[in-house]
Amino acid sequence: MGLWDQRREASVTEELRSEIDAALEAAFAAPLPTARDLFDNIYEHPPERVVRQRAQLLDGQP
């Protein structure tokens, strides 16, 4: 028997499927990002065009 066989593959595959299913459930349960989130969490130092777009879209919203 080598390091990898069908039994090990089936076990790892099932473990990974469970992990992926749990991650998907958590992602679907999370709230959708707001426009503010999208602007504030993409760039550490946004380019000036993005700063202007953010101001236009959010129109003074906090």
Place of tokens 């380019």: 47
Tens digit of pLDDT for each residue in 7-60? Answer: 999 999 999 999 999 999 999 999 999 989 989 999 999 999 999 999 999 987
Model confidence at 2, pLDDT cuts 50, 70, 90, reads confident
User: Both tokens of residue 10?
Assistant: 């089936």
Give the pLDDT of residue 16: 98
Burial of 11 (0-12, 13-18, 19+ CB in 10 A): exposed
Give the pLDDT of residue 61: 59
E-strand ranges in 1-59 read none
Task: Give backbone dihedrals phi and psi of 41, rounded to 5 degrees, phi first.
Answer: -115, 10
Count of beta carbons in the 10 Å neighbourhood of residue 55: 11
Give the pLDDT of residue 3: 87
